[in-house]
Copies of this chain bind each other. A is one copy, B any other.
C-alpha cells in the first residue's frame, strides 16, 4: 500500500540522514531525494539474493552518483545483505565496509566502485553488453540462464561528464534494451543550480542517442504509481535502453531541501530531528527501522532467495540437457581460465621481424581461440591496433554473439565499458587505442586498477617510433603514468615471445589490469628473450661470454631492447663486457625477491636504461637513462629515432659516457635501500 511505501521511503530517508550525521561527513541530499526510486527498485523490481550476492543471474545495480552511497548501504541493510546497523554507524570510518564511496572489492552487494562521476553509468553499459552477449551464447529455448536487467541511478554530474556521453551514445547504437537509467533530475549541483551550467535538454539528447526517454514529475511522491508505470514502459521497450528523468528534491524532508547545502555535508542534528518529525518518526531516536518495514524487506529477501532457487533449478535442467554449455558458463562466471590455454601461446620464427602490435594480433587471436571469454575491440583503430578477433564477428545489436566491440572514437567510454564487462563477469575484456590516447581514458584506467579487475589495454604506437604523426601522437609520459598507478601491470614487450609472455601473465592475474605497450614499427625476434622471463618483470637476455663479469648493464624495454643487444655486441667487440636486461614490466620485477633482483642488477655494476619515453622513475633501477626529456617530432621513423639518439650508435655513445663517468667514481648501490 502507499502507506507502507511511505513508511519504507521515509525510513530510507531518515536512515540515510542518520548515517551521514553519525559520520559527521557525507552526502545526505541525493539519498533522501532518491529514496522512492531505491525503494521501488529493491522492493519490487530487482532480482537479487542477499544470501548470495554473487548469484550469476542477479540484476546489476549501479549507483553512478557514488557519493550517494549512504543510500546504497541503507538498501543493502534493509534488503538483508551482510550489512549491519553497526556497519551503517561506521560510515566513512577507517576499515569499515561502508567507505565514503562504494568499493566493489570491499563490500558485498556493491557491483562497482563509483564516486568519480559517470564511471558507473558507463560500467553499466558494459554490464548490459556482457549480459546480452552471454545470453546470446548460452540461452536455449526454455532456458534463459542469462537474463537480467541492469539498473542505474545517476545525477546531473554524471550526465555532464563526457565519458557518459560516449558510453550512452554507444549504448543507444547497440540497442541495450535491458539497461534502465534513472536520472535523479534534482537541478542542483555542488556549485548551485544546474541553471549555472547545465541547461541542455537531456532527454532530447538521449533521444538523439537512440534511447527510449520518459519523464516522471512526481519523483518525491511516496505514491509510486507514476514511477512504476514509467519502469513498466521501459521494460516493455526491448530494443532501446531507457532513461527515466525523475524530478526529485535533493534532501527531501530537510529544511534545506532543494538547495546545494544538502549535497555534501551532514544536515546537522537539529535538521535531522526535524526530518524525523516531519515524517512522523521519533526525533529522539536514530537508526530506527520499524517492524512493518522489516516485514516488507524480509519478504523481499525471501523473494530473492526464491528467485535464485528457481533459477538454480532451471540451471540443473539446463546442465542435464547442455552439460558443456553449463559448465562453460559456470567456468566463465567464476573467472577461471580453461585448462591448457597456455598451449595456445604461439611461437614466432626468429627470422621474421614484426611490430609488437603484430605479434599482439597473433597472440590475441591464438588465445581467443581457446579462451572464448576474450571480448573487446578498439576505439576506432582496428586497422592500426590490430586487435580484431578474426574468428568472430562484430558485437552489434543484431549479432550479440560477436566478440568484437566497435567502440568508436571513445577511449574513455571504452575503458569504463571494459570495466563494466569485467565486473559483470563471464568476459575478459580488452580495448585498444594508441598508447598516447590512454591519456583520454585515464579516469577509467585508474578505476580498472582500483577495482582489482582483469582488463587488457592494448596500447600500440608506443613511442616516437610511430614517426610522422608527430608529438600529438607520440607518448612520452604514458609509461611513467601507468607505472605510477598502483595495481596496474605495465608491459612493454620486445618481440613475439615477450608479447606472448605478457598476455600470459596478464591472464593469470585475475585481479589486476594490464597494459601492453606495443610498437608500430617492425622489430626483430630476439634469440634470447623468453616467455617465462616476462613473469619476472626483468631478466638477463645477454651476458658476457664465458661467465665474465659485466662492466656495464644495458636495461632496455620494447623497441629499444634490440638496440641494447646490438650495442652490447659492438661494445663487446671493443672489449667491454656487457649484460643486457629486458625490463619488460617494472611492477613484476619489484615483486621478485631481493636475491633475484640483485642477481639481475648487481649493486656494483653501472646500469643504463634505454627507453624512448620519459626517464622519470628509471632512477630507481639504473645510474643513467637514455630516454626522452621533451616531446617528440614529426618525421619518418628513422629520422625521428636518429634525432633522439635511439640507434645502436646512440646507445653505444651513451654507454661509453656511463663507463667513463664511473671509471673513477664509486658505483651507487641502487638495489639495497632502507625500505
Q: Which residues of A are in contact with B by a Cβ distance under 8 Å?
A: 23, 25-26, 66-67, 92-96, 99-101, 103, 113-117, 156-158, 160-166, 169-170, 172-173, 189-191, 196-202, 204-205, 207-210, 260, 264, 378, 380-384, 394, 396, 406-413, 436-437, 439-440, 442-443, 446-447, 450, 467-473, 476-477, 480-481, 483-487, 608, 614, 616-617, 619-620, 623-624, 628-631, 633-636, 639-640, 643, 654, 657-658, 660-662, 665-666, 668-670, 672-675
Provide the bound-state CA to CA distance between A486 and B264, in Å: 36
Q: Is the CB of A665 within 8 A of B658?
A: no
| Nearest 8 Cβ contacts at the A-B interface | A162-B162, A668-B668, A94-B635, A99-B634, A115-B472, A197-B408, A165-B165, A204-B208
Q: Is the CB of A616 within 8 A of B614?
A: no
Which residues of the partner chain B approach A442 to less than 8 Å between Cβ atoms?
439-440, 442, 481
Q: Is the CB of A173 within 8 A of B202?
A: no
Q: Is the CB of A197 within 8 A of B209?
A: no
Q: Is the CB of A477 within 8 A of B481?
A: yes
Q: A166-B162, A440-B443, A636-B93 are in contact. Are A100 and B205 (CB under 8 A)?
A: no
Q: Is the CB of A384 within 8 A of B116?
A: no
**A200 partner, pick from B189, B196, B209, beta carbons under 8 A:** B209
Which residues of the partner chain B approach A157 to less than 8 Å between Cβ atoms?
380, 409
Provide the bound-state CA to CA distance between A411 and B170, in Å: 21
Provide the bound-state CA to CA distance between A486 and B631, in Å: 7
Provide the bound-state CA to CA distance between A481 and B439, in Å: 10
Which residues of the partner chain B approach A66 to less than 8 Å between Cβ atoms?
472
Which residues of the partner chain B approach A468 to less than 8 Å between Cβ atoms?
23, 25-26, 92, 100
Q: Is the CB of B101 within 8 A of A162?
A: no
Q: Is the CB of B160 within 8 A of A114?
A: no
Provide the bound-state CA to CA distance between A616 and B473, in Å: 24
Which residues of the partner chain B approach A674 to less than 8 Å between Cβ atoms?
608, 623-624, 654, 657-658, 660-662
Max chain B C-beta neighbours (<10 A), residue from A94, A170, A487: A94
Which residues of the partner chain B approach A670 to less than 8 Å between Cβ atoms?
619, 668
Q: Is the CB of B480 within 8 A of A484?
A: yes
Provide the bound-state CA to CA distance between A620 and B657, in Å: 19
Q: Is the CB of A209 within 8 A of B198?
A: no
Give min CB distance, A603 to chain B, whole Å.
9
Provide the bound-state CA to CA distance between A189 and B408, in Å: 8
**A191 partner, pick from B200, B383, B487, B633, beta carbons under 8 A:** B383
Which residues of the partner chain B approach A378 to less than 8 Å between Cβ atoms?
191
Which residues of the partner chain B approach A116 to less than 8 Å between Cβ atoms?
436-437, 440, 472-473
Provide the bound-state CA to CA distance between A630 and B160, in Å: 30
Q: A209-B205, A675-B624 are in contact. Are A92 and B170 (CB under 8 A)?
A: no
Which residue of the partner chain B has the closest CB to A659? B674
Q: Is the CB of B669 within 8 A of A156?
A: no
Q: Is the CB of B486 within 8 A of A477?
A: yes
**A634 partner, pick from B94, B165, B450, beta carbons under 8 A:** B94
Q: Is the CB of A409 within 8 A of B199?
A: no
Which residues of the partner chain B approach A668 to less than 8 Å between Cβ atoms?
668-670
Give min CB distance, A389 to chain B, whole Å.
14
Give min CB distance, A633 to chain B, whole Å.
6
Provide the bound-state CA to CA distance between A619 and B487, in Å: 20
Provide the bound-state CA to CA distance between A450 and B623, in Å: 28
Q: A166-B165, A486-B614 are in contact. Are A408 and B198 (CB under 8 A)?
A: yes
Q: Is the CB of A101 within 8 A of B160?
A: no
Which residue of the partner chain B has the closest CB to A190? B380
Provide the bound-state CA to CA distance between A101 and B624, in Å: 32
Which residue of the partner chain B has the closest CB to A27? B469
